[in-house]
Structure 1
Amino acid sequence: MSVNIYDTANQLEQDLRNSEEFAELKRAFAAIKEDEEANGVYNEFRQVQQLIQQKQMMGEQVTEEEAKQAQTISEKINENEVISQLLEAEKRVGTMIDDINQTVLKPVRELYQ
């Protein structure tokens, strides 16, 4: 019997969409969009995060000012319950995806051991 791995991947996508972890993430993201203050802080956080990641990928140093900006926005994030809930939900979905990746890549890892 032949297995179509793409059918399995498509089923996995649907299972992810229907998971409680993803439902929590959607609810948390909707809450951010509904809260003007949280949405502004979250967008600022994403911009600072992207800037720092781009610099790191290019091998550039993060300036002291950028580090201070990241610290300030991090403090705002920690003070905002709506954003904290989103970050926790993102973490749970990310952990689930990491676990799935480990499972999917297991045959390849075993091959090279």
Structure 2
Amino acid sequence: MAQNIYDIANELERSIRQLPEYRAVEAAKVSIEENPEAKEILGNYVAFQREVQHQLQAGQMPEDDLQQRLQDFNQKIQANPLLTEYFHKQQQLSVYIADLEKIIFKPLNELL
């Protein structure tokens, strides 16, 4: 009997949470939550990303000051060791996620 695809997806979700890379991102996020400055910078950065995404989804070109604002965020992030570590750990986790996407979407890509 074939295993239910939703059961497989839920098992994958649980397995991702057990990865050392996932746990490292989780620990870095806890450290940020405990640091008011890092928490504020990250919150503002996420809001900025959402703003740009909404503009693009609405068919609008991002505002002219986008590049300067992005540079400002990059400087603030690089100056904060907690945020630097968080994004570094996220990048390590993203390698797994990219590999999983390739595997999961392989059958769909073959249909194209």
Number of equivalences: 112
**Are residue 103 (structure 1) and residue 103 (structure 2) matched?**
yes
Shift of 1:69: 2.2
Give the whole-Å Cα distance in 2 for the aligned partners of 1:38 and 1:95.
25
Residue pairs, 1:87-98, within 5 angstroms:
87-98=87-98
Residue pairs, 1:68-83, within 5 angstroms:
68-83=68-83
Instruction: Please give the per-residue CA displacement for 1:8-58, whole angstroms capped at 9, x wherever unaligned.
Output: 111111111111011001101001011111111111111111111111222
Report the equivalent of 1:11: 11
Report the equivalent of 1:40: 40
Shift of 1:111: 3.6
Q: Give the stretch that moved more between structures: 41-50 or 101-110.
A: 101-110
What is the TM-score normalised by the length of structure 2? 0.88
Instruction: Please give the per-residue CA displacement for 1:61-97, whole angstroms capped at 9, x wherever unaligned.
Output: 2222343222212211111111011111222222212
Identity %: 26
Shift of 1:109: 2.0
**Aligned amino acid, residue 46 of structure 2:** R
User: Structure 1 unaligned runs (5+)?
Assistant: none
Give the whole-Å Cα distance in 1 for the aligned partners of 2:45 and 2:30.
17
Residue pairs, 1:57-72, within 5 angstroms:
57-72=57-72
Give the whole-Å Cα distance in 2 for the aligned partners of 1:87 and 1:75.
13
**Aligned amino acid, residue 16 of structure 1:** I
